[in-house]
Every structure is written in C-alpha cells, then in structure tokens.
Structure 1
Amino acid sequence: MKKVFICLLISIMAYTVQAQRFNSYENNWKISAGLNAVGSLGTRNPVERLDEFGFRFPLAFAVERQWSKELALEQDITFNGFKSGQIFDNVASDKKIAYFSTNTTLKWYFTDYLFDAEWLDLYVGGGVGLFYMDDFNTSANLSAGAQYWFNQNFGVKLQSTGKFAANPKNHRYANNHFQYVLAAVFRL
C-alpha cells in the first residue's frame, strides 16, 4: 500500500497542465477523499522513520468552504489504525490500535504572494481536533499543504498536519503525532 501511495504521488507531480484560470472563489465548496498516514513515533520529527506509519484502513474525507481568495474553513474526518507490535514513543504496542480523527481547520491560501500559478494552491492552517487512539484526546493542529488542479473542478491535495495533544504525558498512545493526507479534490 505504501508503494501505491508513493507511485500515485510521483505520477501526480509529473503531470503537467497548460496555464489557465482554474481558481474560482464564488460559492467555492470543495470535497475531498483519499488516504492518510499517521505517525506517532516519539521522535517529534515529521520526516524521521517514514517507514513506520499507521496505515490500516487509511481513509480521509473533508468538506471545505472557501469564502475569499485567501481564506477557507475545512472539516475533515479520518480513519486509520496500527498493527500489534508497532512502535509508539520507542515502545512496542501489545495490541491493534484503531485511529479516528475529526478536525476543524482555518486555511490561509498564500500562493499569489509567491508566484502566479493558477493550477497550484499553497496553504497553511490552524485549528482544533478530536482524535481517538486507544482513548479520546483533543489537539491543537498546524497544517501545511498544496492543491494541484488538473482542471477547474478536479485536483489533488497533499497535506501535513502536526497534532499537539492536550495532556500528552497522560496518554500512552493518544499523544502528539503527525498525519499526512493525499486526496482527490472536487470543486462543487
């Protein structure tokens, strides 16, 4: 499954489009569906040990309302899990662990400040979330991502989110972690 995820990402990046006006901010609703990977490795480094992610039933769904050229609000829901024996904060788990998450994120699109690319949207965001990993916890989230538009109504997004849990020391599994999403995006 990891190889499919990587091949899909490379294929999307290699695809080229002709420059045209893809962005439309009037009544701009978007939905997305795709895959996610969750890492809780205790390293607090989002790119260390990339081969040890939770990748069991890795579904991600989101609805976004963009009301201006720069601002949007997204609500997402993700499912995933970890196998028995997977490493958490340098200790192997003794059971399978289900992962569920829902987040509300305020996004700021800033592509126009860097360059003129109608087929690409870069953004950062912040928000709050609720997640379950053996028990429930809340988090403050910071996100960064990109949406690549193949045409005006269809694109793909790649997003990375750092989730900073409330009381991380009181939870063995439901503590600070990173989540990555690769999803198809449809403009309604």
Structure 2
Amino acid sequence: MKNAGEPMPGNYFHRNKKQNDEAFSELMVSYHNELYRTAWRYLKNEHDALDALQEVGYRAYKNFHKVKNPQYVKTWMIRIMINYCLNEMNRRKRVIPVDSLSEKQGRDQDRAISLDVERYVQSLDEKYQLIIVLKYYHQYTLSEIAENLEIPIGTVKTRLNHGLGLLRNKMQKEEGK
C-alpha cells in the first residue's frame, strides 16, 4: 500500500549519476523499515535481517538503472529482499524452532499462532507466498499486486485463494497430529 509521504520513484530516474545516487539514498531511507520487517519475517534474527538489508541495498543500487517502471521500485526492492532471504535460508538449511522464538517473544498465544502461520507461509511455493506476503503483510490491494507483478488480477485472485487453501490444509494436518 502506498503511503502519502513516500517519495515518488518516477522523479528519480533519468538524472545524472550524482542525482541518481542521492535519489537512491532517499528511497532506501523511505523503504528501510518495510525492507527490514520483510527480512525479519523470513530470517527471524535481527543480525541476519540487518545483513540482508545491507546486501539488498547494495544489489538494488547496483541494478537501480535496470528498473523498467519507476512506479514499481518499492515492489522491486521487496522482491529482491524476498529472493535474498529465500536464498539465504536455502543456503544455510537451518531450521528455526518455533518454540524458542516463541519464548524470546513471550508466551503470548497470539504470537505463537502468528509464528506458526508465518512458518506455513514460508513453506508455500514462491508464487503463492509472494502474493500472500504482499496482501497481508504489506497491505497491497489485489490490483496493486497485479500491476506490480505484471499479471492479470484473475491470476492474483486464483493464486491467493489457492495459497490460502494450501495454508488451511497444512494447518489442519498439523492440528490432526
């Protein structure tokens, strides 16, 4: 969802290198919190999330000139973050025990449920995971998701419904154990 105070990425393109560098810095400051929260949701560790933020900032800076549509620069950066986090998780092959995370964050039942849901979301195929993350964690509308991913809104709805169905099935199977 776009905030009223967000910079307009389209104003940052087609400038000289110095102006582009300054513009990129402004975008990173503006999107810092959202990128950090995305990294933390996947990596579950402050240090790893900060490392991810730094690495993704570098990757985005290096490829900033390749952005085709400035309107979608925020989604483009979130996509880089999600890809980085997924690659990091696969590279490390580490399992994060939900119980230990729950203890760190308190024994609040809502948080435990939230952690379970996040674990299930992370286990979904990437095409479902991305839509669910954009819809429920970043509050994008279905039409914004369709525009940003450059896919028809019907595909977004189908993937969202299918992804939510898969989540429901995984959770019901887990409850039955």
Write 1 or 2 for the structure with the bigger share of strand: 1
Q: Which has the higher contact order (CA 8 A, sep 6+)?
A: 1
Same fold (TM over 0.5): no
Write 1 or 2 for the structure with the bigger share of helix: 2
- The TM-score with structure 2 as length reference comes to 0.25
